[in-house]
Structure 1
Amino acid sequence: MLRRLTPVLLTLLVVALGVTALAARPEQGGPRQRADFVVLAGVAGLRWEDVDPQTTPTLWRMAEQGSIGSLSVRSAHRPTCPVDGWLTLGAGNFAAWRGGARVGGCPATGVSVEQPDGIGANLPDQPGVVAYNQDRLSWGATPGALSESVRCSVAVGPGAAVAAARPFGRVDRYAPVLPADPAQLLGSCVLSIVDLGTVDGESPAVRAAQARQADAQLARILAARPPRSLVLVAGVSDTDVPSRLHVAVADGPGWERGWLTSPSTGRDGYLQLVDLAPTALAALGRPMPDRLFRGRAAVPVEGRPADLRAAIDRPADADREAGAQGRVAGMFFTLLAVAQVVLALAVVPLLRRARRLAGPHGPEPVSPRVVAAVELLLIAAALAVPAALLADAAPWWRGEHAGWWFGVVTALLVVGGTAAVRFSPGHGSTLGPLGAVAGLATLVVGVDVLTGSRLQLNGVVGYSSSQGGRYAGLGTVGLGVFIAGALLCGGWLAQRVRRPWRPMMMVAVGGTAVVIVGSPYLGADSIGAIALTAGVSVAAAICSGGWLTVSRLAWATMAGLAVTIGFALVDLRRPAGERGSVGRFLAALGDGTGGLTVHRASSANFETLVNSPLTVLALAGAALVWLALYQPWGGLMRLFGIYPAIRAAMAGTAVAAGLGGLLSGAGLDVVGAAGALVVPMAALAALRVLDHSTDRTRPDGGRPGQEGPTGGPADGGDRPDSGRTPGPGDPEETSDTPAEPPTGDEPPRNGPVAGVRVPAQGRAASTGVPAG
């Protein structure tokens, strides 16, 4: 009865851990004080490196007394050109002007602004732009949603007219340029949007001159601002490639000397362009059109340094790191994919010759030095991604040759990690390197997540804040490495305990990993936690031996569904603006807009599948496993037969990584990151299992658990499993039917002890081959 109830109890435990991890993070609240007026002043291309006391004194003083942050200007097109940025600002959603994605820069896009009277204006292209965003793009943006949420709005300049135009093209109040005395115009409506120009010069001198002109315009706005007003200054778009982080400053009652943050980013000092429209409405106390807005209202938080120069240096340094990350990441993953493919090709002949034959004929064994060198290369390849993550602890992006500095730091960390594994206790055992590498990878990613994911933010193997995909928690590559490392650690530990306790060990390690991945305070990845729950359930079901039967698969599926349903019920009870990705998707299904989410996920999967170097890693790893390791001569089937907990861990990793990538729109990136760790370790363990495949046991045996003179598969405590104890009349045990050495609390067996090699003379006699 206990054996039958164990899967049920373990499933319930995993579900409870998953739902607990996915508990919603409480909101930080809205603005401390309401404003009677909001002025949004935009400068296309303005970055923090353009701000200093001499060039932009007005903006400097405003930043000193207000709250500041780094603004990601993501829109429906990349890069976000000025017209796309203004349109996204007015939509509160990822929008774009008509036309394809920009390649190589932003073309000049003229906006036609008609003034049929002396009060407002009309944009004749606006209805077509609205139709383009509704029908051709997958975000469902409605340009003009911000102006539709207030009774009256003011626009100054063509860019502001794009942001303030209602969906049918009407601008309530419009001025082509800022009047000599703008007080009356800014006080005529509760919302004013002002275009302060563009900073797009290539040379520092040109950029400084453009920033100085924008600052002079800002000084006139601040001098004429209405009473009890909130002024937001934002660099609303990119002006070149690649995308950069831009300026965001808020000055008004309740916004003093803090960092700007938003629930859409979850990280202090960062907000998105789509957050500005909800911020304006929240400050005015107006109802929020949650179905139209993708952003969330920004709020000020404490913790900013008292010295403004020190405070500004942080977002400026983050912008430099994000820019360097975009250049280095593609090169790193391409080189890693090439290195792992070459290493896979080198491993295949070693696998073919690793199994030593008992007779006098057969291929010459490979030199032990060559095998040892290949093993070190496999360890280094598996540690490459964790080392690259750890490399971001050093400021490599500040050097003149950022790519070379990153390569040097990563190489040193790989060498250090490989040496630590090589000289770790138990390295000579079959599973010793696998356990050490998995432990190091899990430790690096886990500690980073527990300390705020600082290494993943703008890191080469993390996520770029300028791209607007993620700003906090566990990234795609980090998720793949953490899934693989945690499950392999669980399998390695489970293999070292008695069979009945293995599912409990797997659930303990995997459940802890689910909490880390799904907690909104840590990994903040609800989809990853759901996928990992399914993987842990599969691994726990088969870690004590046997196949993945229909009943075991059903329990694993039920665990994943239970976590999904449990979190969905919790998430749907929250206000619409506070829901997570699962709750938003279910709500979209309810109101008929779920197809947009499915379309975005499928498009993202296809784009990532085609363009990501991690796809090559995933396909190369799958090819090595299927065409070599899983062949009868490849050793993986033998490894799985002897160590069922490792087989369970690898099966759970495949399930979790596959689901995580598919549901999050990451294609094969999660699988590729997990495979970069799992496949080299599987190849190394297979080499060692094949090396011991012709080991024989002594006829007279020895004390149970005693090592043989040359060591065997049971070195270092890695206990192989057996089908059953041989009985009278059974055929003589061969290399393909390993026996399990008894543990200390089992009675000694009468007969051979597995893992003890026989001298050459005894080996020949046991196989019927004449000695000599």
Structure 2
Amino acid sequence: MSSPKGLLDRLRRVAPASAAPRRSGRRAWVPYLLVFLIAVASLVGLAIRPSTTATPGSADYVIVAGAAGLRWDDLDPQRTPALWQEATRGSVGWLSVRSAMKVTCPSDGWLTLGAGNYAAWPRRTSGSQCEPAAPALTQPDGIGANVTDQRTVVQNNQDRLPYGATPGALAESVRCTVAVGPGAAIAAARPFGRVDKYESELPADPKKLLSDCVLSFVDLGTVKGSGAARQAQVKAADTLLSRVVAARPERSLLLVAGVSDTERSNRLHVAIAEGEGWNGGWLTSAGTGRDGYLQLIDLAPTILSALGRPAPEKLFAGRTATVVEGRPSDITDAMLGVHNADLRAKAQNAVAGIFFTVLAILQVLLFVLMVPILVRARRHAGPRGPALPPKKLVAVAELALIAAALAIPAALLADATPWWRNSHPAWVFGLVTGVFTLIGTAVLRASPRYPRTLWPLGASAAIGAVVVGLDLLTGARLQLNGVAGYSATQGGRYAGVGVVGLGVFVAGLLVAAGCLAQWLSKPWRPVVVVLLGGIGVVMVGSPYLGADPVGAVAVTAGVCVTAAISTGGWLTFARFAWAAVAGLAVTIGFALVDVHRPAADQGSLGRLLSELASGTGGPAMQRAAAANGQTLLNSPLTILAVAGVLMLAFCQFSPWGGLNRLFGLHPALRAAGAGVTVATLAAGVLSGSALTVAGAAAAAVVPTAVLTALRVLLHAADRTRPEGETDGPGGPLLREDRALSG
């Protein structure tokens, strides 16, 4: 038994600690009030949306001149004077020709144009080249024409494809249409196949024909191949366009579009709008949210808006095009050279798969090599035991783990360089990414706080979050057509945060919040988590920044889970209930605000909820399920997600683990891990990207989590006595406990 004096000394040491909660009890409600205010501020930040911009001008006639395969690098002031003049006088942009098919061939493009939604023409071959647009036509009256396969095409799009497109919806919205050429007939055909007025070729004097109906489609031909043959096709299209320009009626809007690809690869194409109110500037739409980018499905609502006619309800998937200022007057400066987004997107498509495959292989190999090091690092307290791994080996392993965690942030920074203009873009990108990775690793290693157990984990996570956050604040320029971002040719996203950036940002933010929260007393830890998490929710969901409301919902769920268990203990039912209520409050509040906006102003969340409420959300759910399945099997990030989970499980549950000890000392880090898991899995499933978000998060934080577990194991048997205390009933304290707490 202890002496009375020793017992009195112990009571004196315990008394102040037990009295502290009573003194602070009067202000115990302050953290909860701050959490509530931060949640309200997050909701307000999500509710703010840009004001809608009216259509630049109205027109009595609209002429759509389309050329399958036409790209901006086909234009030249000497060889294509008509195209160059229209681009100089009008508003321009990059046209994404996504359809219901993975690659949009000419028939798919013209059909999507006429449907105002993602549509597809039945395929008969599967070669490397697309078939020309050649529908079967009959002309019984010599005025119009009938597309004989139209009923089958409509049924195929509505019953078999997940977009529910109605070919001919645009033609049904106007009284009369004119079509010149086979591709134009596909766009102008009504759902039952009738083309009101049809000519196989442009007449010698097309002035009367182009003024017979308010909407005319002209097929300028197909541009494919390369070299002299391609230039000849572009010149023929330019000559035909010059005749259309000369014969166009007054108060007409001319739309020039490269309506499709001509090879089995995705490219960006020409989009020009020239007419009253469309002079100069960039083309854009609410569907892309990016100046200078337009979708093929945006042309149909733009046509009807210019003609002053309402769009058919629930049939169009696109948004009306608008014009924003800031375009250089010289088309070369605007669309070619260093600003050629098509060439950059082409390089991105080729390099992205290579980068993430190599990253997945390297991280898996690194994890395998770390297993024997972790096993040797587990030193028992007895006098004998296995020798610890050499210090030099541990130092090299730590640097390799830090470099692995910084690979994706380094790749984002590499996208700020013109690597894609080199003749060997993959090698140049890899070299630049490696340089940025080495710089980041050296900076962390040179920090005075590097020996701290949590420093590599918290610092590398914060670097990832800061890189993505700064990119969002500056317009997400690094992610657009970036290897670690998204490609405009895929048609999934044109602005804001991509799935890779979302994973890195969420993981970095919550892990950094967990590290910071450990510096504060328990009541204030949820405040830190909710403060940083609220900033993350706003940045992800705001249309000015991340433009991903579905991702914001997932981040909200992750932040609530992290805050609920950041003070220690497990996720009990009561904590889960409070976290769920808080998350649902923000989510439902934002959803209600979005749903009650006009249909043209709704975000993706509002449109999805509107579709579900009206019973038309089935195709959207089907598309999400199909996208999840395809991405799960094809993405290298799936390997990263699975490898990360297996490595963390080894570090936590094996006898040589270290995460259990770490989580016991730092419950906020365990909470951060749970929040990251919830947020990334929810974001992946809801966005149709499966484990892609989780894979990016795993690539950014799992390597340094393994490093942290290694450091814990290396000190697992260390013992030291607190100052002034001898061996007694209280037992010795771990030196590592004190080091981690410090």
Scaled by the length of structure 2, what TM-score is found? 0.94
Among all aligned residue pairs of Structure 1 and Structure 2, give the percentage whose two residues are the same amino acid. Answer: 59
Q: 1:409-558 counterparts in 2 under 5 A?
A: 409-558=432-581
- Mapped to 1, the partners of 2:518 and 2:367 lie a distance apart of 27
* Alignment check: 8 A CA contact 2:457 2:708 kept: yes
* CA deviations over 1:259-305 (Å, ceiling 9, x no partner): 10111000000000000011100100100124000100111110001
* Residue 228 of structure 2 corresponds to residue 229 of structure 1: no
**1:433–1:351 distance in 2 versus 1, CA, 3 Å:** same
> Structure 1 residue aligned with 2:342, among 311, 319, 322?
319
Q: Helix, strand or coil: the match of 1:393?
A: coil
Match of 1:66 in 2: 90
* CA deviations over 1:1-29 (Å, ceiling 9, x no partner): 87986786466345424322322523442
**1:470–1:699 distance in 2 versus 1, CA, 3 Å:** closer
* CA deviations over 1:194-245 (Å, ceiling 9, x no partner): 10101002x2211111000000000000000011000000000001132000
* Alignment check: 8 A CA contact 2:35 2:526 kept: no
Q: Helix, strand or coil: the match of 2:336?
A: helix
Match of 2:203 in 1: 179
- Mapped to 1, the partners of 2:335 and 2:400 lie a distance apart of 43
Q: Helix, strand or coil: the match of 2:119?
A: coil
- Mapped to 2, the partners of 1:355 and 1:701 lie a distance apart of 30
* Residue 305 of structure 2 corresponds to residue 282 of structure 1: yes
* Alignment check: 8 A CA contact 1:30 1:297 kept: no
**1:646–1:212 distance in 2 versus 1, CA, 3 Å:** same
* Alignment check: 8 A CA contact 2:638 2:691 kept: yes
Q: Helix, strand or coil: the match of 1:22?
A: helix
- Mapped to 1, the partners of 2:271 and 2:92 lie a distance apart of 6
Match of 2:616 in 1: 593
**1:103–1:494 distance in 2 versus 1, CA, 3 Å:** farther
* CA deviations over 1:467-520 (Å, ceiling 9, x no partner): 100000000000000000111111111112222221111111111111111111
Match of 2:64 in 1: 40
> Structure 2 residue aligned with 1:650, among 673, 678, 695?
673
Match of 2:47 in 1: 23
* Residue 136 of structure 2 corresponds to residue 137 of structure 1: no
**1:6–1:598 distance in 2 versus 1, CA, 3 Å:** farther
* Alignment check: 8 A CA contact 1:28 1:299 kept: no
Once the 2 structures are TM-superposed, how far is the Cα of residue 351 of structure 1 from its aligned partner?
1.4
* Alignment check: 8 A CA contact 1:354 1:690 kept: yes
Match of 1:169 in 2: 193
Q: 1:110-509 counterparts in 2 under 5 A?
A: 110-201=134-225, 203-313=226-336, 317-509=340-532
**Higher helix proportion (structure 1 or 2):** 2
**1:100–1:440 distance in 2 versus 1, CA, 3 Å:** farther
* Alignment check: 8 A CA contact 1:18 1:529 kept: no
* Alignment check: 8 A CA contact 1:121 1:172 kept: yes
Structure 1 unmatched runs, 5+: 703-725, 742-753, 757-772
Once the 2 structures are TM-superposed, how far is the Cα of residue 543 of structure 1 from its aligned partner?
1.2
- What amino acid maps onto 2:42 in structure 1? G
**1:101–1:674 distance in 2 versus 1, CA, 3 Å:** farther
Q: Helix, strand or coil: the match of 2:142?
A: coil
Q: Helix, strand or coil: the match of 2:212?
A: coil
* Residue 642 of structure 2 corresponds to residue 619 of structure 1: yes
- What amino acid maps onto 2:349 in structure 1? G
* CA deviations over 1:245-268 (Å, ceiling 9, x no partner): 000001100011111011100000
* Alignment check: 8 A CA contact 2:556 2:587 kept: no
- What amino acid maps onto 2:639 in structure 1? V
* Alignment check: 8 A CA contact 1:27 1:263 kept: no
Match of 1:765 in 2: none
Match of 2:731 in 1: 732
- Mapped to 1, the partners of 2:517 and 2:128 lie a distance apart of 53
- Mapped to 2, the partners of 1:49 and 1:554 lie a distance apart of 57
- Mapped to 2, the partners of 1:465 and 1:400 lie a distance apart of 22
* CA deviations over 1:65-87 (Å, ceiling 9, x no partner): 11000000000002100000000
Once the 2 structures are TM-superposed, how far is the Cα of residue 33 of structure 1 from its aligned partner?
2.3
- Mapped to 2, the partners of 1:137 and 1:259 lie a distance apart of 33
**1:630–1:701 distance in 2 versus 1, CA, 3 Å:** farther
Q: Helix, strand or coil: the match of 2:47?
A: coil
Match of 2:721 in 1: 698
- Mapped to 2, the partners of 1:366 and 1:231 lie a distance apart of 72
Match of 2:12 in 1: none
* Alignment check: 8 A CA contact 1:263 1:296 kept: yes
* CA deviations over 1:548-600 (Å, ceiling 9, x no partner): 11111112222222222111211121111211111111111122111111111
Aligned residue-pair number? 718
* Alignment check: 8 A CA contact 1:609 1:615 kept: yes
- What amino acid maps onto 2:263 in structure 1? D
Mean Cα deviation higher: 91-100 or 536-545: 91-100
- What amino acid maps onto 2:375 in structure 1? R
* Residue 712 of structure 2 corresponds to residue 689 of structure 1: yes
- What amino acid maps onto 1:65 in structure 2? R
- What amino acid maps onto 1:228 in structure 2? R
* Residue 702 of structure 2 corresponds to residue 679 of structure 1: yes
Mean Cα deviation higher: 320-329 or 108-117: 108-117
- Mapped to 2, the partners of 1:81 and 1:75 lie a distance apart of 9
* Alignment check: 8 A CA contact 2:117 2:165 kept: yes
* Alignment check: 8 A CA contact 1:66 1:251 kept: yes
Q: Helix, strand or coil: the match of 1:33?
A: coil
* Residue 605 of structure 2 corresponds to residue 606 of structure 1: no
- Mapped to 2, the partners of 1:6 and 1:177 lie a distance apart of 76
* CA deviations over 1:95-153 (Å, ceiling 9, x no partner): 00124895644245641011111111001100100000000011110000000000111
* Alignment check: 8 A CA contact 1:18 1:530 kept: no
- Mapped to 2, the partners of 1:379 and 1:269 lie a distance apart of 38
* Alignment check: 8 A CA contact 1:14 1:533 kept: no
- Mapped to 2, the partners of 1:698 and 1:20 lie a distance apart of 52
* Alignment check: 8 A CA contact 1:11 1:555 kept: no
- Mapped to 2, the partners of 1:7 and 1:663 lie a distance apart of 32
* Alignment check: 8 A CA contact 1:48 1:316 kept: no
Scaled by the length of structure 1, what TM-score is found? 0.90
Q: Helix, strand or coil: the match of 1:249?
A: strand
- What amino acid maps onto 1:188 in structure 2? D
**1:561–1:379 distance in 2 versus 1, CA, 3 Å:** same
Structure 2 unmatched runs, 5+: 1-24
